[in-house]
Homo-oligomer: A and B are copies of this chain.
Amino acid sequence: MIRAGIVGGTGYTGVELLRILALHPDVEVAVVTSRTDAGQRVDSLYPGLRGYIDVVFSLPELEPLAQCDVVFFATPNGTAMLMAGQLLEREVKVIDLSADFRLKDAEEWSHWYGIQHACPDLIADAIYGLPEVNREAIRRADLVACPGCYPTAVQLGFLPLLENGLLDVKCLIADVKSGVSGAGRKAEIATLMSETGESFKAYAVSGHRHLPEIIQGLELFAGTSVGLTFVPHLTPMIRGIHATLYGQTKASLEDVQALYEQRYATEPFVDVLPQCSHPDTRNVRGSNMCQISVHQPQGGQTVVVLSVIDNLVKGAAGQAIQAMNLMFGLQEDIGLKIVAFYP
């Protein structure tokens, strides 16, 4: 059994790790930390876990975590970078669900996250945990930076076209809609039900922290610089991301459809729908799947890619466990066979 620790077990990604790991046949959740709730049973805060998780929240201290085989950081940005080094020295594998190790450029990281990076030397060792791109590197990794939720949906949506040089890279558009759980479990007026229910809005149009992460990925795929307009929106539901992606291509819809099907044919968690389908976020809710479809309205050169994920699963906890499975030589989908939750 793999002994797993979770730092920051009270946020939505932390609880989602618990939901999935509780039934993972090869993992024992040994340590769950929370500064504010240390000493309480995990299942007293989250009664849905009664009978599944028999652990008490502890303080985020090195020693018990160092006894784990793997530690997940489901913490606010800026926390994992303070402990990751010590754990790696103790030969504990680290999977960071926050943004601390996603950007390769420490200065750009500081620009977007507003603090100095605490261990810029570790950045180079961190593997970006998108299995569809970095599977082999993840297998050998000790430190994995899990992609953000928006970046997962957008990168998987653009990947086949960009890899094959089939898009005009100067004017990509990603119009992306997220459920409110993406904002986390924080006491904030802006995400009260009275504020976000029955309403829809764009936010951070001038620049969202996921923008440099997405661009870093797209440029790797394209092998050149790209121009991207990324507009995130808040939609009145709890879970789910829907990316509507626009680009200019000379390829035909049939070729694009074939390309996507081929590129993702063996991927366990990317599912290309039949041509001209409309993926619905509920069809991946609770599951680790990304469902994608492609369109070319009116037969023009504008290709529209629709890409949906559950922001807390493929966009966070599920993808982190997918990485863990790879890092420990397990079957990639073990513990992740979850049928989406409908209705």
Contacts and interface: CB of A to CB of B under 8 A. Distances in A.
A200 B283 contact: no
A342 to B, nearest CB: 5
A237 B339 CA distance: 21
Interface in A24-58: 46-52
Contact of A342 (B19, B231, B295, B342): B19
A48 to B, nearest CB: 3
Interface string A262-305: 00000000010100111111111111000100010110101010
A120 interface: no
- Chain A interface size range: 35 or more
B193 A192 contact: yes
A177 B180 contact: no
Q: Count copies of this chain in the complex.
A: 4
B207 A298 contact: yes
A233 interface: yes
A220 interface: no
B207 A177 contact: no
Interface in A228-246: 229-231, 233, 235-240, 242, 244, 246
Contact of A199 (B18, B185, B281): B281
Contacts of A185: 189, 192, 194-195, 343
A78 to B, nearest CB: 21
A206 interface: yes
Given A173-B173, A197-B343, 4 more contacts: A49-B339, A229-B300, A231-B244, A235-B235
The 6 A-B pairs at the shortest CB distance, nearest first, are namely: A48-B340, A199-B282, A194-B343, A193-B193, A201-B280, A48-B283
Interface of A: 12, 15, 18-19, 22-23, 46-52, 171, 173, 175, 177, 179-181, 183, 185-189, 191-203, 205-207, 227, 229-231, 233, 235-240, 242, 244, 246, 248, 271, 273, 276-287, 291, 295, 297-298, 300, 302, 304, 306, 308, 337, 339-343
